[in-house]
A and B are shown apart, each in its own frame.
Chain A
Amino acid sequence: MHAMEDNWTTPAQVRAALEGAGYLADDRIAQVVFLAVKLQKPILAEGPAGVGKTALALALADATGRRLVRLQCYEGLDEAKALYEWDYHKQLLRLQSDEGVRWDEVEGDIFSEPFLLERPLLEAIRSEDPVVLLIDETDRIEVETEALLLEVLDSFQVTIPELGTIRAVTRPIVVLTSNNTRELSEALKRRCLYLHIPYPTVERERAILRSRVPELPEQFAEKIARTVASIRQIPLRKAPSVSETIDWARTLLALGIDEVSDAAVASTLNVLLKHQTDIERTAKELSLDIDADVRPE
C-alpha cells in the first residue's frame, strides 16, 4: 500500500498537509515531523498542557490518511491494558466445551489468536492498514512501566511468550506526548525525536485564532494573541492554553465586544484563567478592576 507520507520530500509539504488537516505547524514542528517519517522514529512531544501536542497526532493521522490508535496513559497502566491479555473466560469455555480432548491439542488451541485480547500497542503493531499510534500523557505512567514501551518504540515489535515475536506489518508513525510533570527515562528519550512545543509565538497564535475562529477580525486576533502572551509572562499556577485563548476569543465575540479594552479583559478573565488566585494575581498585575461589568446594554 502506498502511503501518503511517502510523497513528502520537504518539510514544507508536511506543513501544508498538516494545515490541510487544520493544524498550523511552525517550521520546527514541520521539520521534526518530516524527520520522524523519513527516519521512522517516534516523536516525543513535550510542553505545557493545551499547546496542541495531542492535536498534532490527530492532524498527522488525518494528513497521512492513517487510522489513529490511541493509548491513554494513567497511573497504574500495565501490560494487560497496554499490550495484550488472554481472554480467560473464552479459554475456560473452550476447555469446558470439549472435555476428553488431549491436553496438548487444547493447549495449542487456547493460546492462539482467537483468545488474544488486543490492546492499543498490539493493535497498532498488527494493524493491516497503516496507523498513527498516539501514546498520550506518557509522563503519567511509572518509570518501571516505561520499559513496556521500549520494544515497541525501537523495533516496532511485540514479544508474546506463547506466540513469539510479532513484527509490525506497516510501520506506525508514533507520537508520544508528555506534560513534563516528571522527567521521562533516558532510555525512552534516546529512542525518540524530541519536540518541545512551547506556547506559540504571537504570530502563530494569531494564525491559529484566525483559522479556528474565522469570523474574528485580523486586528482583533492580533490584539488577543498579544494580550494572552503578556498574561503568560506573569508567574501563574496555570497559564492560559491555546484552547483557552480560542474560548476567550469566542466569548468576546459572543458578548459583542470588539476591542480588547481593560474593562473587557477584566470581565472575561475567568474564561482565560481557571484558578481564583491566578485571576486575582493577573488583575493586580494589569491593574484591572475585576468587579466591574462591561456588557454592552
Chain B
Amino acid sequence: MITALAEFVHELRAVGIPVSMVEAIDAAKAIEHTDLASRENLRATLGATLVKSPRHYGAFDRAFDVYFGLAPIGELGSEDGGGPGAGDGTAEGGGRGGGGSGDLLDAFVEALVSGDSGRVRSLIALAVDRHAAMQPGRPVGGRYYAYRVLRRIDTDELLARLLAALSSGSPSGEIDDRIDHERAEALVQQVRDRLEQEITGRLISDRGRSQVAGNRRLPLVEDIDLMHATRVEIEEVEAAIKPLARKLATRLGQRRRHGAKGRLDVRRTIRRSLGHGGVLLDPRFRPPRKSKPEIVILCDVSGSMATFARFTMQLTYAIAAELSKVRVFAFIDGLDEVTEFFGPDTDFADGLIRMSREADIVRRDGHSDYGSSFTEMCEKYSDAVTSRSTVIITGDARNNYRDVGLEAFAQIVDRARSTFWLNPEPRRFWDTGDSVMSQYGSICDTVDQVRSLRQLEAFVERAALRVGARPRIVN
C-alpha cells in the first residue's frame, strides 16, 4: 500500500498538485485508520490529506481512478462472445444473446433507472467488448476507444429513452421537464464515466498505471490555457476567479503593511485613562484611513480576443463586486464605457449580451485599432483617469498596422498612478507581425503574459508591490 501511495503522490505532483512531505506522511498514517475495502473511504482519506483546494479535485479524481479505480470487468482485446470475466451472470440477460445495439440500449435504460450499478458495469463491459476494438500496446489515452463505443451506443437515443422512462406521464410543468431532463443527463453521464473507467482499467492491465496516468492527466484549473479553453474549462476557471479578484482588489487598495495603526486618537486615549487614574496606559488609535482604489480597465474585445475577453470581463465583473470605483471600457476600433453593464447588481451573462448590442465599439471594420481607441479615451473620458487610478489594459496589442497613437496612450499613463498591461499572447509572439507590444509596453509599469490563472495570480502578487511604490516620473 505504501508503494502504491508513493506512486500516487508522485503522480499528483506530476499533474501540479503541491503535495508536501508532511502531507504524504499524514496520508500514510490516515490509511491505517481507513477501511480499504471501501474505495470511497480511501478516496475520502487521500482527498482530505493530500488535496487542499477544491480546484484540484478534478485532477485528483482522475488520478485516483487510475491508481485505485475499480478493476475492469473485461480485458483488453477481449472480443464479443468470448470475453473472459465479462459474463458475471447479470450480463447474460443484457443482450448478449440479442445482438442489436437497440436491445443493449433497453437494457441500459432498465439498469440505469433501477439504479443497478453492477448491471450497468457489466453492460458497459459488454459494449466495450463489442465495439471498442482495443489493441494491446497502443500508447493512447483511451479517448478514442470511448468515442468508438459511444458512437455505437448512441447517447442521444439513450437520453430520449431515459426521458421517456423517467417522465411520469401525467401533464407536467416546466420544472418537471427540467428535472427529468437533468436526471436523464446525469444517468447518461454515469454511462460515460463508467465507460471511461472500464477502458482505463483495461489499458492499465496492458500498459501499467503510471503510463496510463500520464496519458490521462487533467490540467489543473490554474493551468488551463485561456485562449483555447473549452466551454467546460471556462466554467471551472470562472468559478475560481472570485477569490482572485478579491485578492487583487485588496492588493490594489492596500498602501501600507498590515498592522500599521492610524494616528493617535487623543480624545479616546484620555477618556480610557480616566479608568486608571489618568495614567495613559492604553493608547487608542484612529482606524487607518482606507484608501479607495480607483480602477480603470480597458478591454480589447475584438474577435481574436473573444475567449480571453470573456475571461477578462468575468474578472472585471468580480472586481466590480469588491470595489466601488471601477470603470470599465471596451474597445475594438471604437471605445465605449461599459461599466453599468457589469456593476454590482447585474447579471454577468446579460452584461455580455448588452455589451455586444448596445456598446458603440465597432466603427469601421471590427478589427482592433488601439491607437484610435486610446485617442478616444483621452478625448471623451479624460476625467476617468486620475492620479489615484490604476489602469489595467488587456489585449494582444495587435493593431492591424494602424496608427499606434502613442501620444494618447502616454497621456493616459502619465495621468494614472500605475498602468499594467496584460497580454494573453505568448511572449515570443510579441512584436511579430502587427503586434506593437513593446511600443506601448515601454511606458507601462509592467507588461505581463497572462494566459492562465496561475499567471494572473503571479501578476496579482506583483501588482501589490508596484502599487505600493511612489508614482514614477515619466520624462
A residues apposed to B, CB below 8 Å: 10-11, 27-28, 31-32, 34-35, 38-39, 41, 44, 46-47, 88-89, 92-93, 96, 142, 144, 180-183, 186, 189-190, 192-196, 198, 223, 226-227, 229-230, 233, 235, 260-263, 265, 275-277, 280-281, 286-288
Q: Which residues of A contact B38 (CB under 8 A)?
A: 27
Does the CB pair A281–B347 fall under 8 Å? yes
**Once the chains are docked, how many angstroms separate the CA of A32 from the CA of B179?**
32
Q: Which residues of A contact B281 (CB under 8 A)?
A: 88, 92
A46 in contact with B54 given A186-B18, A233-B182, A288-B174 (CB within 8 Å): yes
Does the CB pair B45–A39 fall under 8 Å? no
26 contacts between A and B (CB under 8 A): A27-B38, A27-B40, A28-B43, A31-B41, A31-B48, A35-B33, A35-B34, A35-B45, A39-B30, A41-B26, A89-B276, A144-B259, A180-B54, A180-B243, A186-B18, A190-B52, A193-B30, A193-B48, A194-B53, A195-B48, A198-B54, A230-B179, A265-B175, A286-B174, A286-B178, A288-B174
Does the CB pair A39–B33 fall under 8 Å? yes
B246: Cβ under 8 A from any A Cβ: yes
- New A-B contacts (17) at CB < 8 Å, excluding given A38-B33, A44-B52, A229-B182: A27-B44, A31-B34, A39-B30, A142-B258, A181-B242, A181-B243, A182-B243, A194-B49, A195-B48, A196-B54, A227-B175, A233-B182, A263-B173, A277-B346, A281-B347, A286-B174, A286-B175
B35: Cβ under 8 A from any A Cβ: yes
B448: Cβ under 8 A from any A Cβ: no
Does the CB pair A31–B347 fall under 8 Å? no
Does the CB pair B182–A39 fall under 8 Å? no
The listed residue with most A CB atoms (<10 A of its CB), out of B52, B247, B259, B347, is: B52
**Once the chains are docked, how many angstroms separate the CA of A142 from the CA of B210?**
40
Q: Is the interface of A mostly helix, strand, loop or mixed?
A: helix
Question: Min CB distance, A5 to chain B, in Å?
Answer: 13
A35 in contact with B348 given A92-B279, A194-B47, A286-B175 (CB within 8 Å): no
A235 in contact with B349 given A31-B41, A34-B33, A89-B275 (CB within 8 Å): yes
B430: Cβ under 8 A from any A Cβ: no
B residues apposed to A, CB below 8 Å: 18, 20, 22-23, 26, 29-30, 33-35, 38, 40-41, 43-45, 47-49, 51-54, 57, 173-175, 178-179, 182-183, 242-243, 246-247, 258-259, 275-277, 279, 281-282, 345-349
Question: Min CB distance, B370 to chain A, in Å?
Answer: 32
The listed residue with most A CB atoms (<10 A of its CB), out of B47, B48, B276, is: B48
Does the CB pair A287–B174 fall under 8 Å? yes
Out of B44, B52, B276, B347, which one reaches A92, CB within 8 Å?
B276
**Once the chains are docked, how many angstroms separate the CA of A92 from the CA of B281?**
9
**Once the chains are docked, how many angstroms separate the CA of A97 from the CA of B183?**
76
**Once the chains are docked, how many angstroms separate the CA of A288 from the CA of B174?**
8
Q: Which residues of B contact A286 (CB under 8 A)?
A: 174-175, 178
Out of A47, A189, A262, which one reaches B175, CB within 8 Å?
A262
Does the CB pair A31–B246 fall under 8 Å? no
Q: Which residues of B contact A89 (CB under 8 A)?
A: 275-276
The listed residue with most B CB atoms (<10 A of its CB), out of A28, A93, A186, A229, is: A28
Does the CB pair A262–B174 fall under 8 Å? yes
Identity of the chain A residue whose Cβ is nearest the Cβ of B50 in the assembled complex: A194
Q: Which residues of A contact B57 (CB under 8 A)?
A: 196
**Once the chains are docked, how many angstroms separate the CA of A276 from the CA of B344?**
12
Question: Min CB distance, A20 to chain B, in Å?
Answer: 21
A183 in contact with B243 given A27-B40, A287-B174 (CB within 8 Å): yes
**Once the chains are docked, how many angstroms separate the CA of A81 from the CA of B174?**
52
Does the CB pair A31–B45 fall under 8 Å? yes
Q: Which residues of B contact A142 (CB under 8 A)?
A: 258
Does the CB pair B52–A181 fall under 8 Å? no
Does the CB pair B44–A32 fall under 8 Å? yes
**Once the chains are docked, how many angstroms separate the CA of A32 from the CA of B52?**
13
Does the CB pair A194–B243 fall under 8 Å? no
Identity of the chain B residue whose Cβ is nearest the Cβ of A92 in the assembled complex: B276
Question: Min CB distance, B320 to chain A, in Å?
Answer: 12
Question: Min CB distance, A175 to chain B, in Å?
Answer: 13
Q: Which residues of B contact A263 (CB under 8 A)?
A: 173
Q: Which residues of B contact A226 (CB under 8 A)?
A: 179, 182-183
**Once the chains are docked, how many angstroms separate the CA of A277 from the CA of B40?**
39
Question: Min CB distance, B131 to chain A, in Å?
Answer: 31
Does the CB pair A190–B20 fall under 8 Å? yes
**Once the chains are docked, how many angstroms separate the CA of A39 from the CA of B47?**
15
**Once the chains are docked, how many angstroms separate the CA of A104 from the CA of B36?**
61
Question: Min CB distance, B238 to chain A, in Å?
Answer: 8
Question: Min CB distance, A292 to chain B, in Å?
Answer: 12
Identity of the chain B residue whose Cβ is nearest the Cβ of A47 in the assembled complex: B54
Question: Min CB distance, B136 to chain A, in Å?
Answer: 37
Does the CB pair B40–A194 fall under 8 Å? no
Question: Min CB distance, A43 to chain B, in Å?
Answer: 8
Question: Min CB distance, A191 to chain B, in Å?
Answer: 8
Identity of the chain A residue whose Cβ is nearest the Cβ of B29 in the assembled complex: A39
**Once the chains are docked, how many angstroms separate the CA of A28 from the CA of B49?**
13
Question: Min CB distance, A29 to chain B, in Å?
Answer: 8
**Once the chains are docked, how many angstroms separate the CA of A38 from the CA of B30?**
8
Does the CB pair B275–A11 fall under 8 Å? no
**Once the chains are docked, how many angstroms separate the CA of A198 from the CA of B55?**
12
Does the CB pair A277–B29 fall under 8 Å? no
Does the CB pair B173–A262 fall under 8 Å? yes
